[in-house]
Structure 1
Amino acid sequence: HILKGDMRLNIRLIGFLYGIMVIAIVGRSVLWSSRRSGSKKGGGQTALLALALVVIGYVGQLFGRIIQSAVSRQREFLADASAVQFTRNPGGIAGALKIIGGFSKGSRIESPNAHEASHLFFGTAIRSLFATHPPLDERIRRIEPGYSSRVNESESLSETVPGGRFDSSVSMMAADSGEARQYIGHMTPRHVDYSSQLLSALPGKIRDELDDLLGATAIVCGLLLDSDLKERDRQIKVLKKTAPVEVVRQTLILEKEIRSLKPVFYLPVLELAIPTLRGMSAAQVAGLKRYIQVLVEADGKLTLFEFVLEKIVTHQLGMVYSHSKRQTIVKRMDLLLPQMVNLLSVLAKSGNKDIQEAEKAFKAGFEQLRSAGVTRKESMSETVSFKEVDVALNRLALAAPSIKRVIFDACCACVLFDTKVSIPEAELLRATASVMDIPVPPFLFHPIKS
């Protein structure tokens, strides 16, 4: 709507209609004044003139509202078409309209003055000749020509997804690479169900703190605390020198709940905290980065999860406050081969202790690069440092969208070549998607108990 100038057009329509209404208001005022004055001289002519102004004003407003509503309905169709054009996902737009139509309260505006700005709403505020939005059925059929059902706003869809019990006692999960790639940028009821189960399984105290800025900061710090008590004490000591007292205190308050979390929860909890952390000021973001740095460096070693956490937080919050120079987009896969070799090597080794199995995983991932014109063969790197992985991810983030898709397909094929994925593999795969700004819904894995 904004891109097509609908907001500007709607404001002009409001001014136009009020201009017509002014004619009726003037006529009504003159008519009222002539009645109060009681003057017979010229009073009849004045009353007729006033009455004519009232009629012209109200009739003009009537036809003006009809035109306004007709224009608004056509702009809705244009907005739907533009949404499909930009997202390349007609199913997503149609699905959203079906959900709106299925809510028990629909999108009806109950205010008696709703008609005054009804063309500015996103849903059908009123239903009459002056309706500013086309029927949902018609909008859906224009997006999905084969749609034959009927959306009935009086019939309530389930607004909550029934979820079973989330099983957190897993270290390996079964998955299919094709399924993981299929749902990029697309949420289904199964994803919502999975997310609902996961949220329900989180401790209530953690869920409550995720919406609070101090709580989300403390959760990120708590996720980095070492299980070894000596290392943990060293981390708390350096954190006290860097962070405000309230951050340290809240971290210690939540430490018990965070420590009780299973590894399968770590990355989802971090991702749930990111939207809240985006509400930080630039100074608070810089502070959080310092807290993460001192906690990671306190024990003199870097784990895969620590690397993933630092990378996701830095990238996601950097999108809000970093104003780096525009960099050149890489449109050729062969220019990114060294970085892909390093990334695939780490992914292959993170889920396979056996070197031969790791090499098979690497080859499965590298084979996906053929679709981007890669012809030469590469071997898995024997050693890859976290610094090299960091450089690789930063470089791959500059790839063109079509190349990013190939990169992520290769990563999925590498991780899931044996149809099993470990927690570290899943964490690194999610970090890769996050850094490259690929919208990936929760992976629908099937637990394999260790």
Structure 2
Amino acid sequence: MDFFERQRQAKKKTSTLVLLFIIGVLLISLLNFLLLSLFVIPIFSGGFSAEGEVNVSEIASNSLKDPILAASVILGTFLVITIAGLFKKFQLKDGGSTIASMMGGRLVNSCSKDPDEKKLLNVVEEMAIASSVPKPDIYVMDGEKGINAFAAGHALDDAVIGVTDGCIRHLNRDELQAVIAHEFSHILNQDMKLNFRLVSVVFGLIVLSQIGRLMMEVAFSSTRYRRRSSRDNNGGGLIIAIGCTGICIMATGFIGVLMGNLIKSAISRQREYLADSSAVQFTRNPEGLSGALKKIGALSNGSRLLSPNTNEASHMFFGNGMKESWFSISSTHPPLLERIKLLDPSFNGDFSAVQLIEEKVISTKLKKSEKLSQSAIPLPVIDNAIGQTVPPVIMGLAGSGDNQIKVNSSKELSDSIGNPSQEHFDFAAELIKSLPNLVIEATRDPHDSCALVFALLLDKKNELIRNKQIEEIYDLFGEGMSKATLKLSLEIDNIDPRASLPIVDLSIGALRHMSQDQYGYFNHIVESLVAADGQLDLFEYSLSKLVVSHLEPHYIKKRKKVVQVYSLKRLGHDCSVLISALAHAAGREEQTIMAAYKAGAGRLSSLTELNFLSTTECGLKDLDASLSVLEGVVPNLKRALIQAASATVSVDGYLQIQEAELLRAICDVLGCPMPPLSISMEEAA
């Protein structure tokens, strides 16, 4: 199952979720109507006569036949549940950080000295590069001794990874990598968006039980007050009616709780199997994932969580965060032993032989100091990038036409979308090791990450333009930023040309911690640096698209409305712009350009009508406009577009570095992260 099929299934699960929600609302509404007609309305309508005779049957019969009452109850129930769900959706508007805070997570300081946290940071960074996903913020749930983890967010742009204290203390590196790969698969497969919708839907379904409980508490407290009061018994019937109404609503609320748990179980179990499978596919190491699951079985705390909010987010976790229930059908996760045996069929279920890493005691004083340093991340002028020795500058544009990568087939490129392999992880680890410490440290700091992006955009051929760019940085950000940019540019000029976009991936997490004003200044400088030479090249376009696509949703809270497109028939011009632009990028000679165009257009000929466009008709600005339209196409059409794009740029069996960067940027806009080209570092140098 490829990336696009997994996305299609995620959308299908969303439709299933809507259907189950409607069924749940109808069942609850029906039960509400029956209970109100049989019990509550007779009391409110004076169903008890002065002589004590009960006329419940007649009143109930009339109520059951009342269509206006039935419609009112159904509509009222629907409104209460829907409003509650929308309220919860509003609470979660800030994305994954909301869930992390709700679960008591602590944002990990990127400069943490704790060895286990440094290991976690390194694993997440490798995973981010290998999958071409911006590095998510990382949270640790202190005090949670069980082994567990979660991924949460609306999309790639606001995703966070959370792990328990027990997870980083008890798991070795291979096991931790497998757990993080499991969570990254949830990010890639759009499970996070589905999980957020589940939280809202389930909250809506169970809110009636909370309302019923509140009404019972009001009735109970009123009864106790009246007993202590010397007043007469006026109002006693109303209190009884409120209490009975509360009991009835609680009864329907119980159905809502049951429905909510069943919906979570129905949706999340299969996604957990898929995430396990994807994690093994990513790491090619089933022992890592099975080892983590075995340690859950061996640990007294297992994967259980202490947070009072665990039930609300139970379906988001790597393992079952709740106590084992007798009602196993409502469990959000498959049985632990079943998951292990799918990875290790020889396992006999004996957890006593599993070796646990002894938990180390970490200084709470250190934790508090790190938490304080992370809580407020200013963007002042800092000098941590200044005064360090750097090698002499090497002039020349990285990623020129001399850097070629052999491609076996265009299918190899398109199949890698959302499917990082062990090769990609090895490449990521090697790339991180090859980067200067100054660059790695810069990706973890908001100020230095700005300087890093600026350094990548400095002109490497024209010294006059470069000086003008530095002046613009100085005018808006000051001397500290301009000096840091120059120092980092000296380092960047010597690194592997394929490292540029992965460096930006690592920096996105830190760049999300700017203020709104700082982002405005940053965005202005990026635009100025790109426009400094009066032309937009492939690398500048690719980098700016990557930065904008991942930061804009974070700082501009109103998410862009993307219109779903189910056919390419009316998008022939936009498809023509895409394929023609890539064809011009793929070759300088007319024969090569036409061959590239025909290779790509042939993949789309059955879906739409294409025309070859000149460079004046398919420039990068035209491409930008067309991608804004094409990003709304459904997953199977995205597959076709990316297969066509891959066929275009790889027509001669080779891929230029800048072609690869452009293809990566296009995939990024379409919401389809393309892993880096994982060949040996020496081959591309």
Query: Alignment partner of 2:644: what SS?
Result: helix
Give the drift of 1:262. 3.6
In structure 1, C-alpha distance between the alignment counterparts of 2:264 and 2:404, rounded to whole Å? 47
Amino acid at match of 2:586: G
1:138 paired with 2:350, answer: no
Instruction: Tell me the residue number matched to 1:91.
Output: 277
Q: 1:138 to 1:200 in 2, by over 3 A?
A: same
Q: Shift of residue 382 of structure 1? A: 4.3
Query: Is 2:516 the counterpart of 1:316?
Result: no
Deviations 1:375-407 (A, max 9, x none): x45224343322212212222223233222211
Does the CA contact (< 8 Å) of 1:80 and 1:93 recur in 2? no
Judged with a 3 Å threshold, the aligned counterparts in structure 2 of structure 1 residues 223 and 181 are, in CA distance, closer, same or farther, namely same
Alignment of 1:387-402 (within 5 A): 387-402=621-636
Distance in 1 (alpha carbons) for counterparts of 2:622 and 2:651? 24
Task: Flag structure 1 segments of 5+ consecutive residues without an equivalent.
Answer: 16-70, 157-167
In 2, distance between residues paired with 1:126 and 1:333? Answer: 46
CA distance in structure 2 between the partners assigned to 1:259 and 1:208 by the alignment: 17
Letter of the 1:138 counterpart: E
Aligned residue runs from structure 1 range 166-177, under 5 A: 171-175=403-407, 176-177=409-410
Name whichever of 386-395 and 409-418 sits farther off. Answer: 386-395
1:329 aligns with 2:564: yes
Partner residue, 1:379: 612
- The total of aligned residue pairs comes to 377
| Kept after mapping to 2: 8 A contact 1:101/1:151 | no
Structure-2 separation of matches of 1:77 and 1:93: 21
How many Å separate the matches in 2 of 1:151 and 1:80?
26
- Structure 2 partner of 1:32: none
Question: Are 1:365 and 2:600 counterparts?
Answer: yes
Q: Is the 8 A contact 1:136 1:151 kept in 2?
A: no
Task: Map 1:188-207; keep pairs closer than 5 Å.
Answer: 188-207=421-440
| Cα distance change, pair 112–429 in 1 and its aligned pair in 2 (3 A) | closer
Distance change (3 Å), C-alpha of 1:149 and 1:321: farther
Are 2:639 and 1:405 equivalent residues in the alignment? yes
Deviation at 1:428, TM superposition (A): 0.6
2:503 equivalent among 252, 269, 278: 269
Looking at structure 1, the residues matched to 624 and 306 of structure 2 have their Cα atoms a distance apart, in angstroms, of 54
- Aligned-residue offset at 1:353: 1.7
Structure 1 329/250 Cα, relative in aligned 2: closer, same or farther at 3 Å? same
Alpha-carbon separation, structure 2, partners of 1:151 and 1:239: 63
Structure 1 residues 301 and 355 mapped into 2: Cα distance closer, same or farther (>3 Å)?
same
Deviation (angstroms), 1:78:
4.3
The Cα of 1:81 is off from its aligned counterpart by 2.8
> What residue number does 1:346 align with?
581
SS at match of 1:421: strand
Name the TM-score, length of structure 2 as normaliser.
Answer: 0.48
1:281 paired residue number: 515
Tell me the equivalent position of 1:43.
Answer: none
The C-alpha deviation readout for 1:5-30, integer Å capped at 9, x for no partner, is 69969x99xx9xxxxxxxxxxxxxxx
Over the residues paired in the alignment, what is the CA RMSD in angstroms?
A: 4.2
Contact 1:339 1:393 in 2 (8 A): yes
Q: CA offsets per residue over residues 224-257 of structure 1, 9 Å max, x none?
A: 1112322211111122122244322321332221
| Pairing partner for 1:415 from 640, 644, 649 | 649
| Matched AA of 2:345 | S
User: What is residue 456 of structure 2 aligned with on the other side?
Assistant: 223
1:257 aligns with 2:491: yes
SS at match of 2:295: coil
- The aligned amino acid for 2:571 is L
Q: What residue identity is the alignment partner of 1:344? A: I
Query: Any idea what the Cα deviations from partners look like across 1:156-207, whole Å, max 9, x if unmatched?
Result: 9xxxxxxxxxxx9970001221112112222222221111111111112101
Instruction: Show the 5 A alignment for 1:44-83.
Output: 78=266, 80-83=268-271
Q: Which runs of 5+ in 2 are unaligned?
A: 1-194, 211-258, 357-398
**More divergent stretch after superposition (214-223 vs 173-182):** 173-182
Report the 3-state secondary structure (helix = DSSP H, G, I; strand = E; otherwise coil) of the residue aligned with 2:405: strand
Shift of 1:213: 0.8
Question: Do the aligned partners of residues 78 and 320 (structure 1) sit closer, same or farther apart at CA in structure 2, a change above 3 Å counting?
Answer: same
Q: Per-residue CA shift, 1:292-319, capped at 9, x if unaligned?
A: 1222222323222112211221121112
CA distance in 1, matches of 2:512, 2:645: 28
Change in Cα spacing, 1:225 to 1:2, as seen in structure 2 (3 Å) is closer
Q: Does 1:439 align with 2:627?
A: no
1:47-102 Cα distance to aligned partner (Å, 9 max, x none) = xxxxxxxxxxxxxxxxxxxxxxxx9x9999646434269xx777326769964432
Q: Supply the distance in 2 between the matched residues of 1:78 and 1:421 (Cα, whole angstroms).
A: 44
Greater CA deviation, 89-98 or 205-214?
89-98
| 284-293 or 111-120, larger mean C-alpha shift | 111-120
2:447 is matched with which residue: 214, 219, 244? Answer: 214
The 1:84/1:311 distance shift into structure 2, 3 A limit, reads same
1:303 alignment partner AA = D
Q: Distance in 2 between matches of 1:263 and 1:114?
A: 45
Given that residues 465 and 533 in structure 2 are in contact (C-alpha distance below 8 angstroms), is that contact kept between their aligned partners in structure 1? Answer: yes
The answer to whether the 8 A contact 1:114-1:126 is kept is yes
Aligned residues of 1:342 and 1:388 also touching (Cα < 8 A): yes
Aligned partners of 1:151 and 1:339: how far apart in 2? 57
Q: Could you tell me which amino acid in structure 1 is paired with residue 587 of structure 2?
A: N
Contact kept? 2:305, 2:322, Cα under 8 Å: yes
AA partner of residue 194 (structure 1): F
Which of 524, 529, 532 is matched with 1:298 structurally? 532
Q: How many angstroms does 1:357 deviate by?
A: 1.1
Aligned residue number for residue 659 of structure 2: 425
CA contact (8 A) 1:104 1:155 kept: no
Task: Point out the more displaced range, 378-387 or 346-355.
Answer: 378-387
Q: Is the 8 A contact 2:269 2:334 kept in 1?
A: no
Query: After alignment, is 359-368 or 168-177 more displaced?
Result: 168-177
Secondary structure of 1:106's aligned partner:
helix
Compared with structure 1, are the counterparts of its residues 271 and 112 closer, same or farther at alpha carbon in structure 2 (3 Å cutoff)? closer
Residues 94 and 238 of structure 1: CA distance in aligned 2, closer, same or farther (over 3 Å):
closer
CA pair 105-249 structure 1, distance change in 2 beyond 3 A: farther
SS of residue in 2 equivalent to 1:444: coil
Q: Does 1:232 align with 2:459?
A: no
Distance in 1, matches of 2:586 and 2:302, equals 61
Q: Which amino acid aligns with 1:266?
A: S
Q: Tell me how far apart the structure 2 counterparts of residues 4 and 418 of structure 1 sit (CA, whole Å).
A: 47
Q: Distance in 1 between matches of 2:632 and 2:582?
A: 20
Which residue number corresponds to residue 69 of structure 2?
A: none
Tell me the CA shift for residue 289 of structure 1: 0.8
The equivalent residue for 2:290 is 101
The answer (yes or no) to whether the contact 1:102–1:151 under 8 Å persists in 2 is no
Equivalent residue runs for 1:123-134 within 5 Å: 123=319
Q: Is the 8 A contact 1:103 1:155 kept in 2?
A: no
TM-score by length of 1: 0.70
Moved more, 276-285 or 184-193: 276-285
Change (3 A) 1:116 1:328: closer
